[in-house]
Amino acid sequence: MALESSVNRIGVLTSGGDAPGMNAAIRGVVRTAQCCGIDCVGIRHGYAGLIRGEFIPLNEKVVKGITARGGTMLYSARSQEFMLDEGKKRAAEVCRFSGIEGLVIIGGDGTFKGGSGLAAHGVNVVGIPCTIDNDIGCTSYAIGFDTASNTAAEAVDRLNDTMQSHERCSVVEVMGRGAGHLALKVGIATGATIVMVPEIEYDFDRDVIGRIRTARLAGRTNFTVIVAEAMGPVREIAGKINEATGIETRVTELGHIQRGGSPHVRDRVAATIMGYKAVELLAKGQGGRVIAMQGEEFVDYDITEALSMTKDFDYATYKMFTAFTFLDKSTLCI
């Protein structure tokens, strides 16, 4: 299919917390732009770099081999100046001076909020959802989530080995910003005893201590509690478990290790397709959009509509996890 383009030059930037797959998205953008005869400019350090005009030329040579690399070759940043309307106005002016007729913005909700401000100043932007938190309302899947889930699960598997040897309890904090999507995925994948997420209310004695006791009575000798970072100080949680159960408890904060590493196939492929789709829209002169996934399908939304959408927590899967972990049919929703 030949892509006809009504634009001559586009830019691409990554913003906010990085995620595995950002580089694959950049490559998808660059190669598609080249297909269409569009000049592609990389903007370093996100919106801060846009304001400062930190541009680098991008072509197939520059992006060669980056699909398999974690992080972002364009660097990422959070810009205070860009938060203000004056900053957005300045960034829009920079786009105009530099002949940038369309901008691909790769990141999470914060990135899209910035993008919608830029769109209000007349810049054609298209967003690509990328965050290990998978907390973007308009898309069932955000790039980076699968790789981060696997990285965290692998780390918990290792912890489980040593917890089993010493008959201990492992309290593991995973990332997720204000959401528990990552924690739930990791908990299910590793056969955790308990998953604590901000979307669920807990009675600590009943739902944490009580369940550990139940598991112990059922013959379990080591325990894993996966805690989403939004649940508060993980050391406090571990301290309470140690005190109430007498089980030696250890804390691990997985931290930024979850954001690094070579992206898994799912992230590489979704990122590449989204990069293509973003340029396809810009080439047609369309902007103010966000590429998203609904199941396995790629769709796009108006950026304002996308920002108003909220993401539901998967309560059904959470209930299923609790039911079969404790062999308790009463918590099942079927």
Just list the catalytic residues: 133
* Rounded-to-integer distance, Cα 142 and Cα 74, Å: 19
* Rounded-to-integer distance, Cα 133 and Cα 148, Å: 9
175 binds ligand F6P (CB under 6 A): yes
Residue 234 CB, shortest distance to ligand F6P, in Å, is 13
First to last CA, the chain: 47
**Number of chain residues interacting with ligand F6P (CB under 6 A):** 10
Choose which of 7, 36, 51, 132 interacts with ligand F6P (CB under 6 A). Answer: 132
Q: Indicate left, alpha or beta for 192 from its phi (over 0: left) and psi (-120 to 50: alpha).
A: beta
128 binds ligand F6P (CB under 6 A): no
146 binds ligand F6P (CB under 6 A): no
Choose which of 54, 109, 133, 146 interacts with ligand F6P (CB under 6 A). Answer: 133
Residues comprising the chain, all counted: 334
- Between 41 and 228, CB nearer to ligand F6P: 228
Q: Indicate left, alpha or beta for 41 from its phi (over 0: left) and psi (-120 to 50: alpha).
A: beta
* Rounded-to-integer distance, Cα 325 and Cα 320, Å: 8
Interface characters, 267-306, with ligand F6P (x: CB under 6 A): ----------------------------------------
Identity at 303, one-letter amino acid code:
I
Choose which of 11, 176, 187, 275 interacts with ligand F6P (CB under 6 A). Answer: 176
Q: Token pair for residue 34? A: 């080249």
Residue 228 CB, shortest distance to ligand F6P, in Å, is 9
Residue 62 sits at φ, ψ, to 5 deg, of -65, -35
> Residues of 20-30 as b/e, b for ≥16 C-beta within 10 angstroms?
bbbbbbbbbbb
- Between 177 and 264, CB nearer to ligand F6P: 177
- Between 151 and 160, CB nearer to ligand F6P: 151
Residue 200 CB, shortest distance to ligand F6P, in Å, is 18
Of residues 185 through 244, those in contact with ligand F6P by CB under 6 A are 229
Q: Indicate left, alpha or beta for 265 from its phi (over 0: left) and psi (-120 to 50: alpha).
A: alpha
Choose which of 177, 185, 216, 277 interacts with ligand F6P (CB under 6 A). Answer: 177
Choose which of 32, 131, 147, 149 interacts with ligand F6P (CB under 6 A). Answer: 131
Pick the piece of the chain touching ligand F6P (CB under 6 A) from 111-119, 120-128, 169-177, 238-246: 169-177
**Nearest one of 125, 102, 40, 109 to 74, comparing CA atoms:** 40
Residues that bind ligand F6P (CB under 6 A): 17, 108, 131-133, 175-177, 229, 259
